[in-house]
Amino acid sequence: MLAFDDEAGVRAAIASATHILSSVPPDAEGHDPVLTRYGADLAQAPARWIGYLSSTGVYGDIGGAWVDESAAIGTGRRSARAEADVAWGALRPDVRRFRLPGIYGPGRSTFERLADGRAQRIDLPGQIFSRIHVDDIVDALIASFTHGPAGAYNISDDRPASQNAVIEEACRLLRRAPPPLLSLDAAGLSPMARGFYAENRRVANGKARRLLGWVPRFADYRLGLADCLARSATNSPASDSSPPAAASIDQR
């Protein structure tokens, strides 16, 4: 494993890699650290595939409407993400950008948030989000190795839903009562968490389906949560009543 600041080692790896993927978000100053330090090397790299994990946050608030890759970006709270997305697209014509919504998976789902008391139901009728199971991200990346042109792809599930619906389904699977419904002010959310609820959109994945031949294994949160719970039960050395380990959800 190479350290990021091992410039000689990283440059040698870039020069010899066949596939390169960056999952590094912008830094605190809003700059993409990979492009800042290694952009020139990446532009000349012989790799036959280069990908960047971006965010559907680049679309900003759409008022709950559907949004696809043709929409303008850079109008929301993720302006640094939007700038990085554009910069990766301009780096070279063969870069693939994968715009991801809230990521979840085994060990990183609503179950962990319930276990440590961080799952909150917020009273915001009509608030809708898209999400994606981590296995579906991997499938999309692999599909793009041999299918589809370069460009931006939304990688999301088929059925956006409210955060409350996801929490309630997780509680149903655990056979426990859901947490109380709170107002946005009463929830005591951090500025970052409040930003999560300031945006409302449904993310369309039709381009990835058509051009990559990709189909999500977990078309909605119900299938995804059932998978997370099944894997938690399989991997746990304790009894079925033991709560999952703590983790977090990243709404991108």
Is the per-residue pLDDT at 239 higher than 60?
A: no
Read off the DSSP letter of residue 161.
B
Closest CA to 97 of 6, 163, 35, 29: 35
| Residue with tokens 């605190």, as numbered in its chain | 28
In this structure, which amino acid lies at residue 241? Answer: S
pLDDT tens-digit series, residues 35-91: 999 999 999 999 999 999 999 999 999 999 999 999 999 876 778 999 999 999 999
Distance CA 42, CA 197 (A): 36
Contact (CB, 8 A) for 91 and 137: no
Percentage with pLDDT > 70 across the chain: 92
Contact (CB, 8 A) for 103 and 137: yes
Write down the pLDDT at residue 111: 97
| Residue with tokens 């014509």, as numbered in its chain | 93
Give the SS3 label for residue 186.
Answer: coil
pTM score: 0.90
Q: How far is CA 212 from CA 49, 83, 91, 216, in A?
A: 14, 25, 22, 12
Closest CA to 210 of 250, 161, 153: 153
pLDDT tens-digit series, residues 188-231: 888 878 888 889 999 999 999 999 999 999 999 999 999 999 99
CATH code for residues 7-235: 3.40.50.720
Average pLDDT value over all residues in the chain: 91
Write down the pLDDT at residue 235: 65
